[in-house]
Chain A
Amino acid sequence: MGLADLQQKSSKSTSDSTSALLRELVAHLAQNRAPLREEWLRRITEARLLTAMSQDELFAEATSVYDSYVKALETRTLEALQAYAQNLSERIIPLGVETHEIVGIVLLLRDVLARSLFAKYHTDSELMNRVLDAYEPAANAVALTVSVGFVQERERIIREQQASIRELSTPVLQVRERLLLLPILGLIDPHRARQLTGQLLRGIRATRAKVVVIDITGVAAMDTNVANHLVLTVESARLLGARVIVTGLSPEIAQTLVNIGADLGKINTVGDLQGGIEEAERLLGYKVVPTTIEAQPG
């Protein structure tokens, strides 16, 4: 139920009386703003919601929400409310406010207002029905708008944070001159795989690496897309003049590579990271020579 329904309900009103009724309800809610807002705040505190906010903050926001709510009912449009909901979410999410709290307070407000209307109109049951017919769809649309706005903002922030974490957690390390190590941990999704490849290729160019060790010991499984991407990465690195050694290949991932038809002969694989580094050093012409330990003076 959204804006369309709200408008539909409005246009479906066959009688001016429904519009007039809604205007009357809005007037009632506006006139009784102070006591209804008090009641709402009381119930929010009672339900222990929005504890992350101070009393002043809570009062200020509650006033804004109340006014936006009534305005939405009055104008029968949700755009202003949507904009406000997004703005509100941007401000309170960093404070640690959670989804159930927002949904909770919106439902509480709906309840407080409904009870107020009931108190006023309950003596005339036919009128009460018409009041509910006018109020309910609008109130539902408002609750949905605010809740969805909040959730969307939360999801947007989570995505941004995940992107930052990914960027930080995929280091391409230069372990020797001309030798890069790319240890991969955890789950790789296509987005992360693309990011890794970009970082690796740029790293090859920046450090003039001739050998790259990609260690996937920490990767449990890989779907065919990511496996394919690994092959593309190896081939791209080759065009940049770098050889790739893949270490820590699990039997499952090896099988996946075989399944996608990857030419394993073209991919240099070594069992473990240690062995991979040694092989890389060998390719680069390094020789590891033990130095003699000098006798300590007695």
Chain B
Amino acid sequence: MRPPETIEETSVTVECDRDIVVARTQGRAMATQVGFDATTATLIATAISELARNILLYARRGSIRLSPLDQDGCRGLLIVADDQGPGIPDVSQAMRDGYSTSGRLGLGLPGVRRLMDGFEIRSTIGEGTTVKVKKWNK
């Protein structure tokens, strides 16, 4: 665990599949610095992997921004997945559990929401999508 002031915000550009691995590895590292246990750090890394993959699949290019959170003595992690892609036409549809047994449908977003404490998604057709998730260390 590191003192909150020393953890720097970091941003990963996602434009190829290797970047997904970079983003989730950095996410795991920051989660550990914030003080999350190994199990939760894995949950966070998995969520980041999904968010980064969505960027690739639907926007071809975007970024994952990772920042430490510190509120009322509670520490956590903020993850912002941002792209300037075509946008998601029907967000509520995407948020419905699209995971059939093939696991290929859907954007993995319902799964990410299940994992995280805070989940926000904004998408505009032709402009892009931003997904913000938070995880607190309890």
Q: Does A287 contact B (CB under 8 A)?
A: no
By a CB distance below 8 angstroms, the chain B residues around A191 are 138
Q: How long is the Cα–Cα vector from A191 to B138 in the complex, in angstroms?
A: 9
Q: Does A33 contact B (CB under 8 A)?
A: no
Q: How long is the Cα–Cα vector from A198 to B40 in the complex, in angstroms?
A: 11
Q: Does B93 contact A (CB under 8 A)?
A: no
Asked if residues A198 and B39 are in contact (CB atoms below 8 Å), the reply is yes
Q: How long is the Cα–Cα vector from A194 to B36 in the complex, in angstroms?
A: 13
By a CB distance below 8 angstroms, the chain B residues around A194 are 39
Closest residue of chain B to A194 (Cβ to Cβ) is B39
Which residues of chain B (1-60) have a CB below 8 Å from chain A?
A: 39
Closest residue of chain A to B138 (Cβ to Cβ) is A191
Total interface residues in chain B, CB < 8 Å: 2
Q: How long is the Cα–Cα vector from A219 to B62 in the complex, in angstroms?
A: 48
Chain A nearest CB, measured from B47 CB (Å): 16
Closest residue of chain A to B39 (Cβ to Cβ) is A198
Chain A nearest CB, measured from B117 CB (Å): 12
Which residues of chain B (88-138) have a CB below 8 Å from chain A?
A: 138
By a CB distance below 8 angstroms, the chain A residues around B39 are 194, 198
Q: How long is the Cα–Cα vector from A198 to B138 in the complex, in angstroms?
A: 16
Closest residue of chain B to A190 (Cβ to Cβ) is B138
Chain B nearest CB, measured from A190 CB (Å): 9
Q: How long is the Cα–Cα vector from A227 to B13 in the complex, in angstroms?
A: 40
Which residues of chain A (178-201) have a CB below 8 Å from chain B?
A: 191, 194, 198
Q: How long is the Cα–Cα vector from A194 to B138 in the complex, in angstroms?
A: 12
By a CB distance below 8 angstroms, the chain B residues around A198 are 39
Chain B nearest CB, measured from A167 CB (Å): 13
Q: How long is the Cα–Cα vector from A186 to B74 in the complex, in angstroms?
A: 28
Q: How long is the Cα–Cα vector from A194 to B39 in the complex, in angstroms?
A: 9
Which residues of chain A (64-114) have a CB below 8 Å from chain B?
A: none
Q: How long is the Cα–Cα vector from A297 to B5 in the complex, in angstroms?
A: 80
Chain B nearest CB, measured from A163 CB (Å): 12
Chain B nearest CB, measured from A199 CB (Å): 11
Chain A nearest CB, measured from B35 CB (Å): 14
Chain B nearest CB, measured from A12 CB (Å): 27
Chain A nearest CB, measured from B85 CB (Å): 33
By a CB distance below 8 angstroms, the chain A residues around B138 are 191
Chain B nearest CB, measured from A297 CB (Å): 60
Chain A nearest CB, measured from B54 CB (Å): 24
Q: How long is the Cα–Cα vector from A257 to B93 in the complex, in angstroms?
A: 28
Chain A nearest CB, measured from B103 CB (Å): 14
Q: How long is the Cα–Cα vector from A178 to B138 in the complex, in angstroms?
A: 33
Q: How long is the Cα–Cα vector from A198 to B39 in the complex, in angstroms?
A: 8
Which residues of chain A (147-198) have a CB below 8 Å from chain B?
A: 191, 194, 198
Which residues of chain A (42-74) have a CB below 8 Å from chain B?
A: none
Chain A nearest CB, measured from B39 CB (Å): 6
Which residues of chain A (189-221) have a CB below 8 Å from chain B?
A: 191, 194, 198
A-binding residues in B (CB < 8 A)? 39, 138
Please list the 3 inter-chain residue pairs (A to B) with the smallest Cβ-Cβ separation, ordered nearest first. Answer: A198-B39, A191-B138, A194-B39
Q: Can you offer 3 A-B residue contacts whose CB atoms are under 8 A?
A: A191-B138, A194-B39, A198-B39
